[in-house]
């Protein structure tokens, strides 16, 4: 059986109409898409078939968003413990799907797979926010982040001068990133919150004459008030925050009028749960999401592990989207090393993903400039050769003057606020600044 695909008409509908329609229309759209998704998942995805049967549920039991509470939640550890085929819909060839490998934001790596069409459709929601912030198709843009693969459609647009984007690797020294920004002189800057903040701190009068963006859009990591101030002062431009994940792509984007984040209610269902119940406005809770446009690998009531504050059911700006604020959980610290290098932890993460598939969850802690500890929760106990291979690879990356140690654990504790810092520097953290 071939897997259903979202209707292309819905994509255009979402892009142009939904920001201007009523809240009731958004909810009706969510309910209709949810019913289709649940029917599809039950019939075609082995994991959800088992999950529903084990709890005595049928697709017709899930008629509206309110009925979702009957469906047990799924976490990242559940995905790690099962074969990929159990999460894929019948009729899908995994070799033909686009694969996203999660890595540093949660400490629990796993893979997400989508069709070409699903990938393009979810990117439509990101483009809607770019247009909302005032980006023009002819603007020159620079993105500071990890390497990104572009589709043939995107490359074609670039060739004719539309949606031009210069990708600047965040693992480079901030001075080199700034040099590349001066070379391309972007009108829009986007990227990982921590990397953009670091570069903003190196801006001076000369570089401000060359790099003058109309706005800066950040995401991928927590944005604190201090980081926002540094970016705004460094680049002399307003800063807009976006919140997303590999499982859902865009989750929420900052409202220009209220400062709260609109949830992407026509792309997904965002639940904020406190002690298992829906949080009320002003309460902090866990983010649980349902992707309304993912059929190849559905995500229904998926626990992201992030903590947010629930906002209003409808934004005060007049758009029909719910709101959240104070996203917590994705905190990425740079590591200042004794030789003067400022290392992005993704340089370590890429080695972990490559040589240590036995790690289920991890956390990196820089205890001193010359000492880094990897706390690792293994899928199964590693043999001495596995540990030696990882220690050797990471010691080579960190350098001879940095001590590196692996601590095996059964779990990694979150702090009292629910935050999880996958990389934590006790030497110098921008997340400890007010």
Quote the CA–CA distance of 413 and 429 in Å, as a whole number.
19
More confident site: 150 or 77: 77
Q: For 11-20, 174-183, 226-235, 402-411, which range has the lowest pLDDT when averaged over its residues? A: 11-20
Quote the CA–CA distance of 384 and 178 in Å, as a whole number.
43
Q: By C-alpha distance, which of 162, 163, 95 is closest to 126?
A: 163
Q: For 17-21, 40-44, 163-167, 429-433, which range has the lowest pLDDT when averaged over its residues? A: 429-433
Q: By C-alpha distance, which of 309, 315, 325, 324 is closest to 26?
A: 315
Asked if 251 and 310 touch (Cβ cutoff 8 Å), the reply is no
Quote the CA–CA distance of 216 and 239 in Å, as a whole number.
5
Residue 348 CB partners (closer than 8 Å, separation 6+): 364, 372, 374, 394, 397, 398, 423
Look at residue 124 in the predicted model and tell me its pLDDT: 87
Instruction: Name the pLDDT band for 357 (thresholds 50, 70, 90).
Output: confident
Asked if 304 and 401 sit in the same domain, the reply is: no
Is 177 domain-assigned?
Answer: no
Look at residue 379 in the predicted model and tell me its pLDDT: 85
Asked if 250 and 321 sit in the same domain, the reply is: yes
- Residues 221-233 have a mean pLDDT of 91
Asked if 348 and 294 sit in the same domain, the reply is: no
Instruction: Name the pLDDT band for 2 (thresholds 50, 70, 90).
Output: very low
Quote the CA–CA distance of 320 and 22 in Å, as a whole number.
6
% the chain with pLDDT above 90: 62
**Top mean-pLDDT range of 100-109, 159-168, 286-295, 322-331:** 286-295
Range of the domain at 357: 335-432
Residue 275 tokens read as 């002690």
Q: Considering its fold, how many domains does the chain have in total?
A: 2
Whole-angstrom Cα Rg for the chain: 22
Q: By C-alpha distance, which of 66, 18, 23, 64 is closest to 315?
A: 23
Residue 128 CB partners (closer than 8 Å, separation 6+): 14, 15, 19
- Residues 39-65 have a mean pLDDT of 97
Which residues are paired to 246 by β-bridges?
Answer: none
Quote the CA–CA distance of 71 and 303 in Å, as a whole number.
12
- pLDDT tens string 118-136: 998 888 899 899 999 999 9
Look at residue 220 in the predicted model and tell me its pLDDT: 87
Look at residue 424 in the predicted model and tell me its pLDDT: 86
Asked if 1 and 92 touch (Cβ cutoff 8 Å), the reply is no
Is 223 domain-assigned?
Answer: no
Residues 398-418 as b or e (16 or more Cβ within 10 Å = b): beeebebebeeeeebeeeeee
Look at residue 78 in the predicted model and tell me its pLDDT: 84
CATH number of the domain bearing residue 424: 3.30.300.30
Asked if 251 and 117 sit in the same domain, the reply is: yes
Asked if 352 and 395 sit in the same domain, the reply is: yes
Is 138 domain-assigned?
Answer: no
Asked if 110 and 253 sit in the same domain, the reply is: yes
- Residues 188-196 have a mean pLDDT of 93
Asked if 422 and 278 sit in the same domain, the reply is: no
Look at residue 3 in the predicted model and tell me its pLDDT: 46
Residue 239 is given by DSSP the state: E
% the chain with pLDDT above 70: 89
Look at residue 104 in the predicted model and tell me its pLDDT: 45
Is 321 domain-assigned?
Answer: yes
* Helix (H/G/I), strand (E/B), else coil: 357: coil
Residue 281 tokens read as 């406005």
Look at residue 105 in the predicted model and tell me its pLDDT: 47
**Does the pLDDT value for residue 150 go beyond 70?**
no
Which residues are paired to 273 by β-bridges?
Answer: 278, 286
In the listed set 328, 359, 378, which residue is the last one of a domain according to the structure? 328
Quote the CA–CA distance of 38 and 49 in Å, as a whole number.
10
Element of type H or E holding 191? strand 188-192
Asked if 401 and 314 sit in the same domain, the reply is: no
Asked if 312 and 416 sit in the same domain, the reply is: no
Look at residue 308 in the predicted model and tell me its pLDDT: 92
Asked if 128 and 321 touch (Cβ cutoff 8 Å), the reply is no
Q: By C-alpha distance, which of 58, 10, 50, 17 is closest to 32?
A: 10
More confident site: 252 or 380: 252
- Residues 423-429 have a mean pLDDT of 86
Instruction: Compute the Cα dihedral for 299, 305, 310, 315 and give only its sign.
Output: negative
In the listed set 328, 358, 392, which residue is the last one of a domain according to the structure? 328
Average pLDDT, the chain: 88
Asked if 116 and 256 sit in the same domain, the reply is: yes
Is 217 domain-assigned?
Answer: no
CATH number of the domain bearing residue 313: 3.40.50.12780
Residue 145 tokens read as 């982040």
Quote the CA–CA distance of 86 and 297 in Å, as a whole number.
9
CA end-to-end span of the chain: 55
**CA torsion angle 80 348 400 376 (round to 10):** -30
Is 233 domain-assigned?
Answer: no
**Does the pLDDT value for residue 1 go beyond 70?**
no
- pLDDT tens string 7-50: 666 666 667 789 999 999 999 999 999 999 999 999 999 999 99
Asked if 300 and 353 sit in the same domain, the reply is: no
Is 225 domain-assigned?
Answer: no
Instruction: Name the pLDDT band for 365 (thresholds 50, 70, 90).
Output: very high
**Does the pLDDT value for residue 417 go beyond 70?**
no
Is 22 domain-assigned?
Answer: yes
Quote the CA–CA distance of 282 and 259 in Å, as a whole number.
15
Asked if 371 and 304 sit in the same domain, the reply is: no
Q: How far is CA 323 from the centre of its chain?
A: 17
Quote the CA–CA distance of 145 and 192 in Å, as a whole number.
6
In the listed set 303, 328, 353, which residue is the last one of a domain according to the structure? 328
């Amino acid at each position: 059986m071939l897997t259903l695909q979202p209707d292309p008409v819905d994509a255009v509908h979402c892009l142009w109409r939904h920001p201007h329609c009523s809240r009731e229309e958004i909810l009706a759209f969510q309910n209709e898409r949810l019913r289709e998704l649940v029917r599809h998942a039950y019939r075609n995805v082995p994991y959800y078939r088992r999950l529903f049967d084990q709890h005595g549920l049928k697709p017709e039991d899930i008629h509206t968003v309110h009925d979702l509470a009957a469906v047990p939640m799924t976490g990242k550890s559940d995905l790690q413990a099962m074969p990929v085929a159990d999460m894929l819909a019948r009729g899908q060839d995994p070799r033909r799907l686009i694969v996203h490998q999660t890595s540093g934001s949660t400490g629990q790596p796993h893979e997400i797979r989508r069709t070409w069409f699903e990938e393009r459709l979810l990117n439509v929601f990101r483009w809607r926010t770019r247009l909302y912030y005032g980006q023009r198709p002819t603007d020159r843009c620079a993105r500071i982040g990890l390497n990104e693969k572009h589709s043939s459609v995107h490359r074609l647009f670039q060739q004719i001068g539309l949606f031009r984007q210069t990708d600047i690797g965040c693992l480079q020294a901030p001075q080199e990133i700034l040099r590349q920004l001066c070379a391309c002189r972007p009108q829009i800057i986007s990227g990982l919150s921590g990397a953009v903040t670091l570069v903003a701190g190196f801006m001076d009068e000369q570089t401000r004459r060359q790099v003058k963006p109309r706005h800066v859009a950040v995401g991928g990591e927590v944005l604190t008030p201090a980081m926002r101030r540094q970016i705004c002062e460094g680049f002399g431009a307003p800063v807009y925050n976006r919140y997303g994940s590999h499982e859902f792509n865009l989750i929420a984007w900052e409202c220009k009028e209220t400062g709260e984040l609109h949830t992407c209610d026509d792309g997904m269902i965002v639940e904020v749960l406190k002690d298992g119940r829906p949080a009320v406005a002003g309460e902090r809770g866990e983010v649980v999401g349902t992707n309304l446009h993912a059929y190849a690998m559905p995500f229904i009531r998926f626990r992201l592990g992030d903590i947010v504050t629930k906002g209003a059911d409808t934004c005060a700006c007049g758009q029909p989207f719910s709101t959240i604020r104070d996203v917590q959980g994705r905190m990425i610290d740079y590591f200042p090393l004794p030789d003067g290098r400022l290392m992005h932890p993704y340089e370590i993460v890429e080695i972990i993903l490559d040589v240590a598939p036995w790690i289920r969850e991890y956390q990196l802690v820089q205890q001193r400039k010359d000492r880094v500890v990897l706390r690792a929760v293994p899928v199964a106990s590693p043999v001495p050769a596995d540990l030696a291979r990882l220690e050797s690879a990471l010691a080579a990356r960190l350098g001879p003057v940095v001590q590196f140690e692996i601590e095996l654990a059964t779990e990694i504790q979150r702090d009292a606020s629910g935050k999880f810092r996958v990389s934590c520097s006790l030497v110098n953290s921008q997340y400890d600044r007010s």
